[in-house]
A and B are shown apart, each in its own frame.
Chain A
Amino acid sequence: MNCKICSALFQEFLEKSLCEELISEVDRHLKKCGQCRSSMHTYSLTIVLSSRADPPCCVPAEKMDELKKILMERFCTKKTA
């Protein structure tokens, strides 16, 4: 396995969706290639940091109340139409 192929398999490797044979090949390559190891670490951390860059938040309570009111009105209008 060369570096290009190893890099192309990062995603599936981290998602554990590769077959055992390919996992072993990637593992073997990572053991002997420091650059790919670094690449894998930074690729993996990029995913983690992306998930924390802008954490999910809740809809503001007043907007939620307004939304429910509008939706229920529309819902009831549609039912009676």
Chain B
Amino acid sequence: MGKKREIQSDALVVRDLKKGDAKAMEEIVRRYSNKVYNLAYHLTRDSAAAEEIMQDVFLTVIAKIATLTNEAYFSTWLYRVTTNAAYGFLRKEKKFSEQTPVEDLDGEHHASVDWSELPDDVLLSEESREVLKRSIDSLPEAMRTVVIMKDMEGLKNEEIAEALGISVPAVKSRLHRGRLMLRDQLSDYFSKYTKPSGEDA
């Protein structure tokens, strides 16, 4: 059964789940528990909350799976449930900043310094990772969610759009602007290790 499940598409497993197959439920948990947990953790930065959200998400799967009309959209539905639960937690904790009108934000076109040639021990240091995590956390909510889903969780633009109920161009726009803001924050941080552009020219 395990091997058979391995090659089954989500749609087939979800179909079995709708019929009340407990093995299908186990398989869904096996496939998605870490994904749901990580997405919830990155959105909330709270491991206890992520565990609670993960549990609530799978309980929602049990309660609401019959309402999912197209089984092929299971994963995006699951990410939507997870994102909503994480937003719910952040609202409760008053950590949720309402959507910034992203269309009004304009990214810098050039980085002030070129830090791309810095050695790996600087680029990948614990300190630079902390700076980046803080920068991601301080992004406007609309961008933060998309950056986390794309660059940290590795979801496709189409999956993010479906999960968040926005268009693919909106995903791309938020992602681009979010990355530009992160790049600028990293440029500020790495500037102490490098010279301003053009100084060597």
In the complex, the answer to whether B136 meets A53 with C-beta atoms within 8 Å is yes
- Kindly provide the distance from the CB of B188 to the nearest chain A CB, expressed in whole angstroms: 12
Q: Please pick, from A38, A49, A53, A71, the residue contacting B110 in the complex, using a CB distance under 8 A.
A: A38
Closest to B147 in A: A50
Chain B interface size band reads 35 or more
Instruction: Verify if A1 is at the interface (C-beta below 8 Å from B).
Output: no
Most buried by A among B129, B153, B154, B198: B129
A25-66 interface mask toward B, CB cutoff 8 Å, 1 = contact, 0 = none?
000000000111011011111110111111011111001100
In the complex, the answer to whether B107 meets A53 with C-beta atoms within 8 Å is no
Instruction: Verify if A72 is at the interface (C-beta below 8 Å from B).
Output: yes
- Report which B residues bind A (CB closer than 8 A): 20, 22, 25-26, 29, 33-34, 37-38, 41-42, 51, 54-55, 58-59, 62-63, 107, 109-111, 114-116, 123-124, 128-129, 132-133, 136, 147, 151-154, 172, 175-176, 179-180, 182-183, 186-187, 197-198, 201
Closest 5 CB pairs of A and B: A41-B116, A38-B114, A50-B151, A7-B109, A46-B183
- Report which A residues bind B (CB closer than 8 A): 3-4, 7-8, 10-12, 34-36, 38-39, 41-47, 49-54, 56-60, 63-64, 67-68, 70-72, 74-76, 78-79
